[in-house]
Structure formats: C-alpha cells, structure tokens
Amino acid sequence: MTLSRADLNRWGRGLLAAVLLFVTAGEAAAQFSVRPEDPTGLSIREKRVRVIHSTDASVPGTSMHLQQWDPWLAYQRGRSYYFREWGTEDGVFTHLPNRPEAAAATSCGVCHNTPFPSVGAGGNVGISVRVGRNAVHFFGAGLLETLAIQLRAQLINKYDLNGNGYIDVPEESLGKRAYIESSAGHVLDFGSLHDDNGDGRPDLNPVIMFRAVGEDGKARLFNSRGRPASMRDEETVGYDIALGVFASSAGDHQFPSVRMFSTGVFVTIMGILPEVDSSEVQPLGMTGGFLTNDWGRFSNTGAFLSEVLLTGDPYAEKDLSKRPTISEGELDLLDWFMINHPAPALGPQTAQTLKGRELMTEFGCTSCHVQDWEILPADPEKNLPGDRRFFDLETEYNYVANQMQGTLHDLTVPTPGPNGQTLNLPKRDGFVVKDIFTDLRHHNLGPRWREYHVSGEHIRLEAAMFRTSPLWGVGSTPPYGHDGRSPTLDHVIRRHEGDAIESSTAYKNASQEDRDALLAFLRSLVLYQPESLPTDMNGDGRITTAHKINGHDVGPEIFRPEFMLRKTPIYEGWTESPDGDRYFSYALQNVGESYGEYLEALVDRDKDTVPDIIDPDAPRPPVQAKTENEEDVGELLADAGGEE
C-alpha cells in the first residue's frame, strides 16, 4: 500500500491548514453549483471533499480506488471539478501569479463548455503578447493524449538504439529523421533528430518538446551557467522528448497532457495551487522546492507529466495562507473525467457531404489534416499505453429518428484487487481514432497567422508555426483559427498559405458547388451534448424511453454517467411541478450512497472538505471502516487523529 500513515498525517495537516483559512460556510457553487435537488440532474450533486491521492485501491474512497473500483463514480466526481465555480472557501485567487491575465474566471467551464454542459469549445480570450486565443474543445482529449504518449514511445523505441531511455547526441541523432506512421502505411515526417541548425534544439517539429539529459543520465533543466539546458552544452549527452499536443504553437501553454494543461490553468487563471505529488519532491535550487523534476512520470490515468507541472508542497510551505487548495486526488479525478470524455461525432451524411469528404483528399487537405490515427494495443515492453479509457461512446446518426444516438461500450476487464475487491481496469486494447483530421504537427501557414510582440525597443516575431487543428468537432466550434479571427470556415481556409498554399488554392479555384460540398462535410464534424444523448446504455440493442436500472426508473435512456454508478441513483422520478405539469425529476435522493460518501476516505462529517481519515478535528469516534481491511484502516484513523 502506497498511502502510508505518515502520508495521511502529513496531508491532514496541510489540508486542514488550507481549509481553516476559509471558514465561510455556505454552498460551493458553479458553472454548476452543488444542487443535488436540481430536477435536470446536471448540477453538481456531492459536496466537495478533498479526495486523497493513492496509487492503488487499498483504501476505499481514495483516487485510485475510485478510478479502479467504480470508474463511473470517479468520472462523475471528476466532472464536478470541471464545472465547479471555485469560491472563496476553495481559496480561489489566493495564489495568482503576478501577471495581468490572472484572475479571469472561476471555472474551467466558463471558457470550455459549448455545447453546454460538456468539455466543449468556447469563445476567444485575450493574452498579453498575442492577439487572442480561441478556447478549444476537449472532446476525445484522452485519445489525443494517448496518441502523444504512443508517439513518444515509438520514437524512443525506434531511435534510442542503446535502450538507455533517451536519444544520445550525436550517436543516435546525427543524420536521423523522425518518421512515424499515423496508421498502417501512412508515414509522417516529424523532422530531424539532430541540431543541424545549431540553435541548441533538435530540429524536430515544434510539437515535440525536448529535455536535455546530462552525463548522469538525468534530465537537466539548466546548464552550468544557469541558462536553460541545450544540446550545445558540454554536459548534455542526449535528450528526452514529449509531444506537446495541447497547444496551438510552441511555448503556447504547451504541455504533453491535459492534466498539466489544467493544472497550469488552476494557478494562472484561478489562483488555486494544486497540491504536491505524493512522490518525493526533488527541490531545485532556484525554485524553492516547488517543482518536481522527474520528466517522464505518469499520472494515475497514465497521463505524461513533466517537471513544468507546477505543484506546491503543503508540507514545505510554512505560511498557512499559502497552503495548497486543490488536492492531488481531486486532480486525479478531473484527469480521469477529461481523458474519458466522449469524442466528437459525425453528423448526418448526404451525397454532398460524401463528396466533400472526397474533396478533402483531392484538394490535399488531408496531407496535414490526417483523417485517422491508430492507437496500438498496450505493450509494456515497448511502453505503448494502449487505449487508456474505460468506456467508448460510439455515436451514429439515426436517419429514421433524425437524431444522433449513442452506444456505450465498456472497455474494462474485471480484475481481482486488494481486500477481495473486484476492480474494473481498462483493457488497454487498440483503437482506431477516426476522423480526427490532424497530423499533430506544427506548420508555417504564411503571414496571415503570424504574431508579434515587443521586446525592449524591438518588435519580434512571436509565433509563425501553428499546429494542425484537429477538425473533429469543427462544425460546432466557430470561430476558427488559433486566434479565433476567422468567423467562418470559408474565411479560415482562404487564410491558409505557406505549407498549405496548394490546398487552399485548390479550394479557392474550385467551383462553388465543390466548395459548398467541402464546407458541408466540415459542418458535419460535430460536437453534441452528451448528457442528453439518447444512448443504448445497457447494450441490449435498444434505446428505451423508460429506462430501468435494478428496478429503479431513471427516465429515458440517455448518456447519464450517473446511471452507471455502482450504487444506482434513486431519482425523485415522475412528479408534479409547482406549475402543475408532470415531469421526470432527476433530483437525487441518495447522494451519499450513490456518490460514495460512505467510503472511508470520503467521509467528512464536519463538512470542512477534509476527509475525516486525515482530519484531526473530525468528530469522534472515527468512522467504522467498511472493508475487510477494517483493522488496518481503523488503526490509520486513530493514528491520523492522534498526533495534532
């Protein structure tokens, strides 16, 4: 068991201190608020508990236990962190960096939520040195992230010939180009592994971030002169890589995982300092112990993390007012929700859209907007992750009902876990990601995209290469371009020059009929509101209007993650409204049971958000442990409470 008693004690102190600062009671609230009685069932159900991070399922209610034992509960609790509007009692805006963009919004969902509620796209936001950034959607983000992890593994497998885990310079880099297959037979060039232009970085496509490795075989952030480490440093013997797929250009919030992206946002936008990893912090001289430097770790969901992940160590911080305010366990659940969120869909197809799909190839769009990518089955020896999701929501347009419909596919396999539990672990099979339409690379699209900033007395080119935007969902996510400065699809296509000049010229010169067909196809690449989607949830091949689970009426069969919880939700059901009409109310009658508030590590009787298991101020006696591991957990509780 990785969660030690000492850990629990230490965490208890840190969390409690953070909580004590914000003694205001009252509901926490949201993009969605905590409203278990919301008759639409879309608000947040459960009160916030600072979920404890764990790396196995030993202690019920900890993050890994939830992920493995009741993955839908982990998903649904993770959803709450996405839509939650963080309030004063959460410590919002208390850890803002000193920059003008800070304190912009109180929820992920303020910017990324269309269609609502989902992890959809949003409007445009401003930044200090550029003209604006369009808020992207995160439908299918887990698939995109897995491709990034897979590509890193494939590149290392292919070019790290001596198997030391990194690319030796120059032995393994000189004269080598990084070629990767997106799917069988479709090869993409990701640039030169060597620093031929002498700028200190391998001449790889900018989507690939690199980290210098020193003679000791460890990643180095800085060279002996205190400058960012480069390939030109004498002490650099090689480098490691990661694919920063969640960014429109290099350096633009470029992170290899959605977890790191969101962690950064918690600090920069909301001033909420995420809690330290449970793994040992390796303080760096200049950073006061706030950064970890183990490039290449993976989160509970298998997300690639690097040292730029900004985490605080509550234990190291002596000033109570500066203690962290979101726990690592909560980040685990948010991560789980986001990597499992359903992918975009293909809307109704007509002869026109089918022709448009063909024209994508004919015009040459698909040379960069690559249609499909293949996730290979997991292979631990090759570090191939496989499909890390626990379900797939297959969507298909029903031409009879004239609506989008879903089919839920379980991607887990029952596995024996600790304490006699049966866990549901992802199978990690292969998966073909269809119609994503990106090569993941960055390209020079000509002058209409470039961005500049002023440095001293000089104006400098800030960004000239931008990632190939994945086109899935593009029909539902205007405006277009990384900067959102193209209001229509026609505008953004005509804006392509540079690497894409031939394709955009083909488009411009095409007949209006052909252009209309192409645009019609793009408009059919859509997002949707998943929680209203008629869906075959139980695999019986039908979608009913009156769905029942374990004898409980849950309304029409739609994609409601709550339906899949281990403890079936009990809704108020058919009821008469104050206005006299009858409707199906999703007001939840058994929040505590269905949301696992009885699980040891989630019990929080004094409602201060710190689980009793680590809360020295929790009411006594401690809760009775409810697993077979009763004695062990009881001891933990006593130990945790005894020291303060």
Considering the complex, what minimum distance in angstroms separates the CB of residue 65 from other proteins? Answer: 28
Task: Please tell me whether residue 172 binds other proteins under the rule CB under 8 A.
Answer: no
Residue 256 token pair: 């290899």
Subset of 130-149 contacting other proteins (CB under 8 A): 130-135
Amino acid at 432: V
Cβ(633)–Cβ(600) below 8 Å: yes
Subset of 210-229 contacting other proteins (CB under 8 A): 221, 228
Considering the complex, what minimum distance in angstroms separates the CB of residue 373 from other proteins? Answer: 25
Dump the DSSP string for 154-203: HHHHHH-TT-SSSEETTTTTTT-EEEEEEETTEEEEEEESS-TT-SSS--
Considering the complex, what minimum distance in angstroms separates the CB of residue 289 from other proteins? Answer: 6
Q: For 609, left (φ over 0), alpha (ψ -120 to 50), or beta?
A: left
Among 170, 214, 289, 498, the residue binding other proteins under the rule CB under 8 A is 289
Considering the complex, what minimum distance in angstroms separates the CB of residue 159 from other proteins? Answer: 22
Q: At what angle do helices 5-21 and 630-642 cross, to 10 degrees?
A: 50
Cβ(423)–Cβ(414) below 8 Å: yes
Cβ(598)–Cβ(591) below 8 Å: no
Residue 298 token pair: 């993976």
Among 421, 505, 532, 544, the residue binding other proteins under the rule CB under 8 A is 532
d(CA 404, CA 383): 36
Among 54, 58, 67, 114, the residue binding other proteins under the rule CB under 8 A is 114
Subset of 248-287 contacting other proteins (CB under 8 A): 250-254, 264-265, 267-269, 273, 286-287
Considering the complex, what minimum distance in angstroms separates the CB of residue 533 from other proteins? Answer: 11
Query: Mask: binding to other proteins, 487-516, rule CB under 8 A, as x and -?
Result: xx-xx--xx------------x---x---x
Considering the complex, what minimum distance in angstroms separates the CB of residue 521 from other proteins? Answer: 14
Task: Please tell me whether residue 312 binds other proteins under the rule CB under 8 A.
Answer: yes
* Options 71-79, 498-506, 526-534, 624-632: segment touching other proteins (CB under 8 A): 526-534
Considering the complex, what minimum distance in angstroms separates the CB of residue 105 from other proteins? Answer: 5
Task: Please tell me whether residue 475 binds other proteins under the rule CB under 8 A.
Answer: yes
Considering the complex, what minimum distance in angstroms separates the CB of residue 340 from other proteins? Answer: 22
- Looking at the DSSP bridge assignments, the partners of residue 423 are 415
Residue 306's alpha-carbon distances to 188, 210, 277, in angstroms, are 25, 11, 12
Task: Please tell me whether residue 232 binds other proteins under the rule CB under 8 A.
Answer: no
Considering the complex, what minimum distance in angstroms separates the CB of residue 85 from other proteins? Answer: 5
* Options 9-17, 185-193, 244-252, 617-625: segment touching other proteins (CB under 8 A): 244-252
Residue closer to other proteins (CB basis): 128 or 550: 128
256, burial (CB in 10 Å: exposed 0-12, middle 13-18, buried 19+): buried
Task: Please tell me whether residue 583 binds other proteins under the rule CB under 8 A.
Answer: yes
Q: What are phi and psi of 294, to 5 degrees?
A: -95, 80
The position carrying tokens 């445009």 is 124
Task: Please tell me whether residue 528 binds other proteins under the rule CB under 8 A.
Answer: yes
Task: Please tell me whether residue 397 binds other proteins under the rule CB under 8 A.
Answer: no
Task: Please tell me whether residue 297 binds other proteins under the rule CB under 8 A.
Answer: no
Subset of 36-65 contacting other proteins (CB under 8 A): 37-43
Considering the complex, what minimum distance in angstroms separates the CB of residue 215 from other proteins? Answer: 21
Task: Please tell me whether residue 236 binds other proteins under the rule CB under 8 A.
Answer: no
d(CA 121, CA 25): 33
d(CA 292, CA 284): 8
* Options 111-119, 147-155, 424-432, 499-507: segment touching other proteins (CB under 8 A): 111-119
Cβ(479)–Cβ(134) below 8 Å: yes
Query: Mask: binding to other proteins, 21-40, rule CB under 8 A, as x and -?
Result: xxxxxxxxxxxxxxx-xxxx
- Any idea what DSSP says for residue 624? P
Residue 272 token pair: 């909420």
Considering the complex, what minimum distance in angstroms separates the CB of residue 111 from other proteins? Answer: 6
Considering the complex, what minimum distance in angstroms separates the CB of residue 553 from other proteins? Answer: 17
Q: Residue 278 in 3-state DSSP?
A: coil
Residue closer to other proteins (CB basis): 264 or 634: 264
Residue 396 token pair: 């298909």
Query: Mask: binding to other proteins, 325-354, rule CB under 8 A, as x and -?
Result: ----------------------xx-x-x--
Contacts of 551 (CB under 8 A, 6+ apart): none
Cβ(470)–Cβ(138) below 8 Å: no
Among 7, 56, 101, 358, the residue binding other proteins under the rule CB under 8 A is 101
- Any idea what DSSP says for residue 563? G
Subset of 71-90 contacting other proteins (CB under 8 A): 85-90
Subset of 414-473 contacting other proteins (CB under 8 A): 447-450, 452-454, 458-459, 462-463
Cβ(328)–Cβ(303) below 8 Å: no
Cβ(30)–Cβ(84) below 8 Å: yes
